């Protein structure tokens, strides 16, 4: 997805064309305070060093990023400029040059220049001692970041990397002020000072976070809101009650289907529901060093046992899953179309045939009567718990006797890391749908390869797809990766794609759901109709 | 008296120290630590080196005995350090939440006492009649419901029947009393009702006991009016054990409303405690347990003093 | 620290009357306690006969029959996995009683042993044991249980243990105070003077005489343990799916479906309340019956 300026312009035009009718009919109204629920809380205020949406939701409106994902794009995969006005990519794909907007001011009144962007990216790519840059690995291809003049920033790469533009649209890469970073790299852990559409007012720990309109925002006319108030509510029943009692207007992460139904029933047309496949997914990790899971016939049989389509119909009524998907979120550019997906083992519609094949494979593997094992699941109600119940039921139907053991949520990752399991529920969640981001953990050398598979083919395919410059070529490689991972070797078993459900009061406008709860939270486009 | 006070106060120190030690060791046995939780999520992108650096920074790489000495040294100077999860000073984390928990505990205790004493006295005066049975059924029923369930029923009732929801964000009493009470009265009612059960039973049995003492029996013979008058005297004598129960429950309410705080979204000590366990925030957990335990020890201390004050014989035991 | 009324004058009189007469006397004089006892007996029967009386397999999933309202096929409806609520309730009584009795029996026994030992030996042993008990008493019940579950994990035996530990000091305290008064009784002195071993004195003379407070503690704790387990379930740390357990049935999906499928919440809620209610009623009456000071003559 290399974008030349012309392409970018065309894309921009398309976006405008799509967005135009909506804008024409509903002229945004200024004023009002958006009140939203955040189910988690920010540990520190420094997004470069955190990975919880609990920080993004209340704090992102104070900042800008170099690029961002188009706030009106439902797939959440179109990069558009945020602080960057335009960009060019050299023919060899090794130099990205961005033009920076003029007249952008920090909340302290000082001018934002390319120096600030360079300082922020240097901190992310080459963190100084004591700074924990959590997504540093995404920029391995970057050789240098240069700021030749105040309105130009240049990224030089070691090798061409298709995903760079999206990596630069990361919602985590807030642009901080260079002078502050030069004095104290830890300042942003406890302070807020950006260029974003809203200024920081207060954070009362455990209670709420308040922002007010930035009157000097560079994007004239925006933001529409006078301010916002994020209230922290950890219990999900209390979150639903807050929206239902109209003490809050929206919760940007997701509600469960019964919670949605409850809100719709109680509030009728006062509530609008937006839904999207979610770039998060639970898959089953099988420990490749423990018998019989070292045998790929066994692993494939376990995937074939799952009636994914019937499971989807039933589970989507009670928990946060829905689509039957492959390694990319359905509906996004690199996703395998359903007709082709069906050819993978365990994705066909004829469940009787699948299960017969599963039993044949078990027989071949020397375990015709099935076997017993312990399935470790994580102590989280949605969707882990229902998925676990479903999986056990499905495996039982090919003669596997499964005992479930639930591990407390916080003790789960250490358990996976120790390799202390036979079969375990694992979890994958991205902030932008992009093969590079979603597939990195399946490479044999990844620290998150908890099942300890070794597969040279997978590793090579990963690098090839990452460096493929032609989109069709890359698609083909991603498909091969998918078939290898889920079918031929069945290193892991994918369950169902998570499904994001955001019901909000109908008076909230200008916000579009995307496949990621990390995206689209700057709130500059959001407005209230009363 | 002052000698007794000092002796009694000194006795609390070993208990507090023991609580500190037990807490410190107990939470370090919980699998997983804060660094692992925070930085090695599902992407697993942070190198072991960075993790080690971070452990070193917050002192988790030191031997446990040294960590304990450092911490207890701070506690003696009332310095509880910073939260391992947020990096903010512990006192800042706890301050507001403590105010909220304290207020809910006070309000719930008032509700409990207002229910327990009249009901308990009534049950004792009418022992083994249907009044007695009704009172006991009412108070035991409160104890029989899981607290979260009682809370959820409260909220559903308000939402569905009254079509109104209490405020979800805490406003301190001195900022806006109306908003504050509108939020806190519901959990106070739910918790107060539950906690009135034990106090009701205590009041009833203490009353029964006092009522059986000779001078009251004599008075009883003289007629109902006197019976009532004397029962006031009886009540006074019966109050001490009831007060003890109330004081101790009050102390537990401050940190023990783990479940109720979730249901009503109260930003209190109990909720903070659950989060601290989930985050493996050792420093915060230690401070919270010390706080809750001190409240309990303090309540006991105050009651002992009250006993000693009312009954001088105890001082010389 | 008088958490519960002292039992210092409790001495069980040897039962000379036939057992049936005693039971009848109890039922006549304490109707509330009798009601509690009847409910407990019914619960025990249901738990024992679960496999016979449950109409369905409590684990059997039927996605076709999700969230069915009560009918002749499913008397109490089905849950979000199409599992029969009645069958899960019936099997859940096993879990409830296991956790309830398990925790309270173990807690009361360990507590009684510590309490009696503390009272009997006195001196340093008493002092140290009391200090340790004080430490554990300073933690709210739920907080200690929460920490223990986090350490041990949440299988049923571990849950029982996590609920037991905070109960031990509470029981030890009460038993100690009644054991103290027995220790001063002339016959214990006499037994000592006669040179009997500690073990014999404790087993023969002290233990039988603390039976009354012991029984009261056991019944009082069963209800508490059942409630504590359901609170832990609400926090996601209790019994885990797919094991049928009342607290779990009440706390998870039931809350989300509270209005659409109220039977998912109402029946386990009733089961918990009724059983805790029964144990409290019975315990209360037992306390009155066994504490001679409160007898109305």
Residue C9 has a pLDDT of: 42
Contacts of A318 in chain C (CB under 8 A): 66, 80-81, 253
Chain B: give the shortest CA distance to residue C186, in Å. 22
Residue A150 has pLDDT above 90, yes or no: yes
| A241 part of contact set with chain C, CB < 8 Å | no
Query: In this predicted model, what pLDDT tens digit does every residue of B247-270 receive, in sequence order?
Result: 888 888 888 888 889 889 899 999
Question: A281: nearest CA in chain B?
Answer: B42
B33 vs A410: CA distance, rounded Å = 9
Chain B: give the shortest CA distance to residue C200, in Å. 31
Mean pLDDT lowest for which of B72-81, C13-22, C282-291?
C13-22
Residue A425 has a pLDDT of: 95
Contacts of A247 in chain B (CB under 8 A): 165, 167-168
| C145 part of contact set with chain A, CB < 8 Å | no
Mean pLDDT lowest for which of A512-516, B141-145, B286-290, C25-29?
C25-29
- Smallest Cβ distance to C272: which of B133, B146, B293? B146
Cα of B58 vs its chain's centroid, Å: 31
Are the Cβ atoms of A208 and B271 closer than 8 angstroms?
no
| C259 part of contact set with chain A, CB < 8 Å | yes
Which of A257, A258, A410 is the best substitution to test chain C (most C C-beta atoms within 10 A)?
A: A258
Q: By percentage, how much of chain C surpasses pLDDT 90? A: 22
Are the Cβ atoms of A405 and C80 closer than 8 angstroms?
no
Residue A294 has pLDDT above 90, yes or no: yes
- Smallest Cβ distance to B42: which of A234, A244, A429? A429
Residue of C62 and A293 predicted with greater confidence: A293
Contacts of A395 in chain C (CB under 8 A): none
- Smallest Cβ distance to C135: which of B19, B136, B259? B19
Query: In this predicted model, what pLDDT tens digit does every residue of C143-168 receive, in sequence order?
Result: 888 888 888 888 889 999 999 988 89
Contacts of A135 in chain B (CB under 8 A): 43, 45
Are the Cβ atoms of C251 and B143 closer than 8 angstroms?
no
- Smallest Cβ distance to A258: which of C61, C81, C257? C257
| C260 part of contact set with chain A, CB < 8 Å | yes
Among B residues 197-226, those touching chain A with beta carbons less than 8 Å apart: none
Query: In this predicted model, what pLDDT tens digit does every residue of A182-229 receive, in sequence order?
Result: 999 999 999 999 999 999 999 999 899 999 999 999 999 999 999 999
Question: How much is the mean pLDDT over chain A?
Answer: 91
Residue B215 has a pLDDT of: 61
Contacts of A258 in chain C (CB under 8 A): 80, 253, 256-257, 260
Question: A385: nearest CA in chain C?
Answer: C241
Residue C287 has a pLDDT of: 79
pLDDT-derived band of residue C102, with 50, 70 and 90 as boundaries?
very high
Q: Considering the entire predicted model, what is its pTM?
A: 0.89
- Smallest Cβ distance to B259: which of C31, C234, C250? C234
Chain A: give the shortest CA distance to residue B50, in Å. 7
Residue B227 has pLDDT above 70, yes or no: no
Question: How much is the mean pLDDT over chain C?
Answer: 83
Query: In this predicted model, what pLDDT tens digit does every residue of B201-219 receive, in sequence order?
Result: 888 888 887 777 666 666 6
Q: What is the mean pLDDT of residues A452-460?
A: 94
Residue C7 has pLDDT above 60, yes or no: no
Are the Cβ atoms of B146 and C247 closer than 8 angstroms?
yes
Residue of B229 and C76 predicted with greater confidence: C76
Residue of A144 and B76 predicted with greater confidence: A144
Report the 3 state secondary structure along chain C: CCCCCCCCCCCCCCCCCCHHHHHHHHHHHCHHHHHHHHHHHHHHHHHHCHHHHCCCCCCCCCHHHCCCCCCCCCCCCECCCCCEHHHHHHHHHHHHHHHHHHHHHHHHHHHHHHHHHHHHHCHHHHHHHHHHHHHHHCCCHHHHHHHHHHHHCCCHHHHHHHHHHHHHHHHHHHHHHHHHHHHCCHHHHHHHHCCCCHHHHHHHHHHHHCHHHHHHHHHHHHHHHHHHHHHHHHCCCCCCCCCCCHHHHHHCHHHHCCCCCCHHHHHHHHHHHHHHHHHHHHHHHHHHHHCHHHCCC
Contacts of B44 in chain A (CB under 8 A): 417, 441, 446-448
Are the Cβ atoms of B267 and A232 closer than 8 angstroms?
yes
Question: What is the ipTM score, two decimals?
Answer: 0.88
Are the Cβ atoms of C3 and B128 closer than 8 angstroms?
no
Contacts of A427 in chain B (CB under 8 A): 42
Are the Cβ atoms of C257 and A408 closer than 8 angstroms?
no
The DSSP element (H or E) to which A203 belongs, if any, is: strand A198-204
Are the Cβ atoms of B86 and A43 closer than 8 angstroms?
yes
Residue of C210 and A242 predicted with greater confidence: A242
Among C residues 189-228, those touching chain B with beta carbons less than 8 Å apart: 223, 227
pLDDT-derived band of residue A108, with 50, 70 and 90 as boundaries?
very high
Residue of A107 and A379 predicted with greater confidence: A107
| Most confident of the ranges A242-246, B156-160, B259-263 | A242-246
Residue A300 has a pLDDT of: 96
Residue B217 has a pLDDT of: 61
Contacts of A396 in chain C (CB under 8 A): none
pLDDT-derived band of residue C12, with 50, 70 and 90 as boundaries?
very low
Report the 3 state secondary structure along B163-226: CCCCCCCCCCCCCCHHHHHHHHHHHHHHHHHHHHHHHHHHHHHHHHHHHCCHHHHHHHHCCHHH
The DSSP element (H or E) to which A501 belongs, if any, is: strand A492-505
Residue A390 has a pLDDT of: 94
Residue C292 has a pLDDT of: 55
């Amino acid at each position: 997805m290399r974008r030349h300026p012309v392409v970018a312009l065309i894309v921009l035009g398309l976006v405008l064309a799509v967005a135009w009718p909506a804008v024409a009919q509903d002229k945004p109204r200024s004023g009002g305070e958006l009140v939203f629920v955040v189910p988690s809380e920010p540990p520190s205020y420094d997004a470069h060093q955190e990975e919880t949406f609990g920080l993004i939701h209340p704090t992102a409106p104070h900042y800008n990023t170099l690029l961002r994902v188009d706030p009106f794009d439902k797939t959440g995969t179109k990069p558009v400029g945020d602080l960057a006005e335009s960009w060019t990519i050299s023919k060899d794909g090794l130099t990205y040059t961005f033009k920076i907007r003029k007249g952008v001011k920090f909340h302290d009144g000082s001018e934002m220049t390319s120096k600030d962007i360079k300082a922020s990216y240097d901190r992310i790519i080459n963190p100084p001692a004591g700074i924990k840059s959590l997504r540093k690995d995404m920029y391995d291809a970057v050789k240098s970041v240069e700021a030749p003049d105040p309105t130009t920033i240049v990224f030089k790469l070691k090798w061409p990397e298709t995903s760079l533009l999206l990596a630069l649209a990361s919602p985590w890469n807030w642009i901080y002020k260079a002078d502050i970073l030069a004095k104290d790299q830890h300042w942003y852990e406890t302070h807020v000072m950006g260029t974003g559409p809203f200024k920081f007012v207060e954070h009362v720990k455990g209670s709420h976070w308040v922002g007010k309109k930035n009157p000097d925002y560079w994007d004239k006319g925006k933001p529409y809101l006078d301010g916002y108030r994020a209230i922290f509510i950890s219990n999900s029943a209390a979150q639903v009650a807050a929206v239902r009692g109209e003490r809050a207007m929206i919760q940007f992460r997701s509600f469960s289907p019964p919670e949605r139904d409850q809100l719709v029933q109680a509030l009728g047309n006062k509530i609008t529901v937006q839904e999207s496949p979610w770039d998060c997914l639970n898959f089953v990790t099988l420990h490749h060093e423990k018998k019989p899971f070292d045998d790929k016939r066994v692993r494939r049989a376990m995937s074939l046992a799952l009636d994914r389509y019937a499971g989807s119909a039933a589970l989507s009524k009670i928990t946060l899953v829905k689509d039957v998907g492959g390694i990319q979120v359905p509906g996004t550019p690199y996703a395998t179309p359903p007709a082709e997906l069906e050819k993978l083992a365990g994705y066909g519609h004829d469940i009787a045939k699948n299960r017969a094949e599963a039993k044949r494979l078990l027989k071949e593997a020397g375990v015709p009567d099935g076997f017993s094992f312990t399935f470790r699941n994580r102590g989280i109600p949605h969707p882990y718990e229902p998925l676990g119940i479903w999986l056990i039921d499905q495996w039982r139907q090919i003669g596997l006797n499964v005992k479930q053991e639930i591990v407390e949520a916080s003790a789960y990752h250490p358990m996976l890391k120790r390799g202390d399991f036979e079969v375990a529920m694992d979890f994958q969640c991205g902030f932008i749908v992009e093969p590079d981001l979603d597939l990195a953990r399946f490479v044999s050398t990844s620290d998150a390869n908890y099942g300890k598979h070794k597969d040279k083919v997978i590793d090579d395919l990963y690098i090839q797809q990452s460096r493929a410059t032609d989109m069709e070529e890359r698609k083909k490689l991603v498909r091969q990766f998918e078939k290898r991972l889920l079918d031929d070797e069945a290193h892991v078993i994918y369950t169902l794609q998570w499904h994001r459900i955001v019901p909000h009061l109908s008076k909230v406008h200008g916000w579009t759901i995307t496949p990621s709860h990390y995206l689209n939270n700057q709130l500059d486009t959001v407005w209230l109709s009363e | 008296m002052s000698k007794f006070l000092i002796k009694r106060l000194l006795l609390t120190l070993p208990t507090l120290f023991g609580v500190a030690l037990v807490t410190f060791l107990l939470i370090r046995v919980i699998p997983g630590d804060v660094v692992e939780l925070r930085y090695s999520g599902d992407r697993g992108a942070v190198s072991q080196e960075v993790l080690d650096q971070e452990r070193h920074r917050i002192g988790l790489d030191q031997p446990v005995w040294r960590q304990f000495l450092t911490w207890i040294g701070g506690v003696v100077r009332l310095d509880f350090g910073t939260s391992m999860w947020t990096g903010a000073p512990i006192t800042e984390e706890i301050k507001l939440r403590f105010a909220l928990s304290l207020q809910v505990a006070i309000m719930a205790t008032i509700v409990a006492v207002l229910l327990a004493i009249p009901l308990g006295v009534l049950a004792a005066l009418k022992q083994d009649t249907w009044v007695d049975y009704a009172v006991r059924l009412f108070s035991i029923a409160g104890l029989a419901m899981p607290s979260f369930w009682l809370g959820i029923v409260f909220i559903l009732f308000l939402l569905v029947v009254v079509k109104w929801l209490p405020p979800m964000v805490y406003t301190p009493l001195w900022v806006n009393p109306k908003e504050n009470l509108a939020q806190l009265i519901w959990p106070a009612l739910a918790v107060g009702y539950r906690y009135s059960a034990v106090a009701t039973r205590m009041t009833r049995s203490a009353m029964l006991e006092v009522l059986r003492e000779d001078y009251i029996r004599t008075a009883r013979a003289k007629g109902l009016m006197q019976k009532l008058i004397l029962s006031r005297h009886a009540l006074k004598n019966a109050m001490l054990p009831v007060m003890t129960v109330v004081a101790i429950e009050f102390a537990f309410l401050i940190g023990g409303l783990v479940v109720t705080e979730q249901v009503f979204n109260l930003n209190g000590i109990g909720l903070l405690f659950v989060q601290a366990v989930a985050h493996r925030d050792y420093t915060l957990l230690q401070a919270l347990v010390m706080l809750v335990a001190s409240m309990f020890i303090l309540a006991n201390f105050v009651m002992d003093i009250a006993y000693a004050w009312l009954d001088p014989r105890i001082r010389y035991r | 620290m008088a958490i519960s009324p002292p039992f210092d004058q409790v001495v069980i009189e040897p039962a000379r009357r036939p057992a049936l007469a005693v039971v009848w006397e109890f039922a006549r004089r304490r109707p509330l306690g009798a009601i509690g006892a009847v409910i407990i007996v019914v619960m025990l029967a249901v738990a024992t006969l679960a496999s016979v009386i449950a109409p369905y397999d409590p684990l059997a999933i039927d996605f076709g029959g999700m969230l069915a309202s009560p009918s002749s096929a499913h008397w109490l409806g089905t849950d979000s996995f199409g599992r029969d609520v009645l069958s899960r309730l019936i099997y859940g009584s096993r879990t409830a009683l296991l956790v309830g009795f398990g925790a309270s029996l173990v807690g009361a026994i360990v507590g009684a042993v510590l309490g009696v030992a503390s009272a009997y030996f006195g001196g340093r042993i008493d002092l140290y044991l009391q200090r340790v008990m004080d430490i554990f008493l300073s933690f709210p019940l739920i907080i200690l249980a929460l920490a223990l579950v986090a350490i041990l994990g949440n299988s049923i035996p571990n849950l029982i243990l996590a609920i037991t530990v905070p109960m031990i000091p509470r029981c030890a305290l009460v038993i100690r105070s009644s054991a103290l008064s027995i220790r001063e009784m002339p016959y214990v002195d006499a037994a000592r003077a006669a040179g009997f071993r500690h073990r014999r004195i404790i087993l023969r003379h002290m233990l039988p005489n603390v039976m009354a407070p012991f029984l009261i503690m056991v019944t009082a704790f069963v209800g508490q343990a059942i409630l504590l387990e359901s609170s832990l379930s609400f926090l996601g740390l209790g019994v885990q799916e797919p094991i049928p357990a009342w607290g779990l049935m009440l706390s998870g999906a039931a809350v989300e479906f509270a209005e659409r499928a109220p039977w998912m919440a109402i029946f386990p809620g009733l089961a918990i309340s009724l059983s805790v209610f029964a144990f409290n009623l019975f315990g209360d009456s037992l306390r009155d019956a066994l504490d001679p000071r409160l007898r109305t003559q």
